[in-house]
């Protein structure tokens, strides 16, 4: 990881695959049942192959402040398809820290807004939803791409 707190890695994303296909390909030990194509549609088409960035802010931080930091860096927050591609191609990343995709937001029937993230515990891997309006712990990371 560089001094800036950003790790760069290669990632290939197919936006043509369904969320359900990508969740299956990720072989998670647990996944939130609300992480489905209907809740997280994408307007992106085709495929992407290139650099992805895992950004570490290193402090308790709100989603709004993370998005502002990414913007200053010329980055956009990852969407769910991109996060799921990370889970398939780099499955051990989430064993070390949470990786969130703030570019995909689902509004629950209760009105709360949630974003997907990858996390782990012991030797297991999971796909979770976190509150967009809550704060993220200092060890969390955020997947991003160049604008």
pLDDT at 4: 52
In a domain, 1, yes or no: no
In a domain, 89, yes or no: yes
For residue 136, give its domain range: 6-146
In a domain, 20, yes or no: yes
2 pLDDT exceeds 50?
no
69 pLDDT exceeds 70?
yes
Q: Which CATH number characterizes residue 114's domain?
A: 3.10.100
Give the tokens for residue 48. Answer: 């992407």
Report how many domains make up the chain: 1
In a domain, 47, yes or no: yes
In a domain, 16, yes or no: yes
> Is the full-model pTM beyond 0.85?
yes
In a domain, 113, yes or no: yes
Mean pLDDT, residues 60-70 taken together: 97
Question: For residue range 32-57, what is the model confidence (pLDDT) as tens digits?
Answer: 999 999 999 999 999 999 999 999 99
């Amino acid at each position: 990881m560089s001094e800036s707190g950003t790790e760069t890695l290669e990632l290939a994303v197919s936006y043509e695959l369904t969320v359900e296909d990508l969740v299956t390909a990720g072989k998670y030990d647990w996944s939130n049942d609300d992480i489905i194509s209907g809740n997280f549609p994408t307007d992106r088409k085709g495929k992407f192959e290139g650099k992805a960035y895992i950004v570490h802010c290193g402090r308790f931080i709100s989603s709004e402040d993370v998005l502002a930091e990414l913007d200053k860096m010329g980055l956009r927050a990852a969407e769910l398809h991109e996060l799921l591609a990370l889970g398939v191609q780099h499955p051990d990343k989430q064993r070390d820290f949470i990786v969130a995709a703030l570019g995909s937001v689902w509004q629950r029937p209760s009105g709360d807004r949630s974003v997907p993230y990858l996390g782990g515990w012991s030797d297991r891997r999971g796909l979770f939803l976190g509150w967009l309006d809550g704060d993220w712990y200092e060890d969390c990371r955020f997947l991003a791409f160049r604008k």
